[in-house]
Amino acid sequence: MTTPATTPAAPAAPDDASIVAKLSTLDRFLAVWILLAMALGLGLGRLIPGLNDALTEVEIGGVSLPIAAGLLVMMYPVLAKVRYDRLDAVTGDKRLMVSSLVINWIAGPAVMFALAWIFLPDLPEYRTGLIVVGLARCIAMVIIWNDLACGDREAAAVLVALNSVFQVVAFGVLGWFYLDLLPGWLGLGAGEHLGISTGKITLNVVIFLGVPLLAGFLTRRIGERKLGRERYESRFLPKIGPWALYGLLFTIVILFALQGKTITSQPLAVVRIAVPLLVYFALMWFGTFALGKAIGLAYDRTATLAFTAAGNNFELAIAVAIATFGVTSGQALSGVVGPLIEVPVLIALVYVSLAWRKKFTATAAATPGHDG
């Protein structure tokens, strides 16, 4: 550890006002656009007869093509920004990698299991749906939340890829453990079985991560070769950057249009499901952010760790619930309510994260030998 006398001064944290002043109208009022997109989707799903059925029919292998298109457009610009030659620095950070695995695949499902039983002991269908949501770790939309919060793009790419591998390997096993085996061990009643194949989970991962990741990687490699890194980042990336948010808003509209009638016709059920979800997102995000700070991660990696821990793969959770229990089941409703709560909560946490960034940087600068 260096002494205070030899520790170089950390760069001053950017002024919040100057950051806001540089934002485009799209970025500055993103929370407003997201809420409007949610309202528009709910309204369309409620008011247009047959829209739900029409959108549901546009799918391949159980994957909604409109949602897939929105997610691909959303993720591609962000993944094209990743500097892939810096991934080694991320994979070499054992604190980050181990923390992510433990939080996502041990803590996250366990927390959701506990909250589902605490808040919904009398509603087994909703409870099971929530547990499925907890098992589906985020591999798509978290890329956007992390980027908006000025997290580490390279770290986000690595952690999302890591989650994808574990999703294929561990989703079915954890589903059996939390829905079938553990309830019997604890004397909570008969268990349930998830009817989802490894092939379907793999297809989900390939579409929602593999395709945009490959496109982003090839764009970066070819773009830097043709333009050079400086011109690629200063000229090309700003042109495609806004499409990430356009894709996000389109995805939200389609998602809520698909489930608008279901959500608006069962308000009390939505409230019952929403409460444990709110507690879950708060526990996972704030707990993980505190952990990142405690183990000495810099702000950008702490934010990345927190958002990858709090986010969930809503598309997989809904697909599994519908395939196993039916489109009108309580389990499917829990999956649908997931993004209804997650989207506004995580966009709010983006603002919380940005507000803490300045304080985080100041604390790191005052700590001799701190690596952040």
The overall average pLDDT reported for the chain is 81
Report the distance separating Cα 169 and Cα 148, nearest Å: 30
Is position 32 within any domain? no
Q: Residue 370's pLDDT is what?
A: 44
Segment 360-367 shows an average pLDDT of 58
Q: Residue 191's pLDDT is what?
A: 64
Is position 288 within any domain? yes
Q: Is the pLDDT of residue 110 over 50?
A: yes
The pLDDT tens digits for 167-216 are 888 888 888 889 888 888 888 776 666 666 667 777 777 777 788 888 98
Of the chain, the percentage scoring pLDDT greater than 70 comes to 83
For residue 58, the Cα-to-chain-centroid distance in whole angstroms is 24
Q: Is the pLDDT of residue 81 over 80?
A: yes
Q: Is the pLDDT of residue 16 over 60?
A: no
Which runs of E-coded beta strand occur in 83-235?
A: none
Is position 86 within any domain? yes
Q: Residue 219's pLDDT is what?
A: 95
Tell me the pTM.
0.77
Is position 40 within any domain? no
Boundaries of domain holding 308: 60-247+262-360
Q: Residue 362's pLDDT is what?
A: 61
Beta-carbon contacts of 56 under 8 Å, excluding residues fewer than 6 positions away, are 64, 258, 327
Q: Residue 304's pLDDT is what?
A: 95
Q: Provide the token pair at 109.
A: 């499902």
Report the distance separating Cα 150 and Cα 102, nearest Å: 23
The pLDDT tens digits for 323-358 are 677 666 788 788 878 888 888 899 899 989 998 887
Is position 196 within any domain? yes
Structural domain tally of the chain?
Answer: 1
Write out the H or E segment, with its range, that includes residue 64: strand 63-64
Is position 14 within any domain? no
Is position 228 within any domain? yes
The pLDDT tens digits for 279-320 are 999 999 999 999 999 999 999 999 999 999 998 887 778 777
What CATH number is given to the structural domain containing 340? 1.20.1530.20
Segment 127-140 shows an average pLDDT of 88
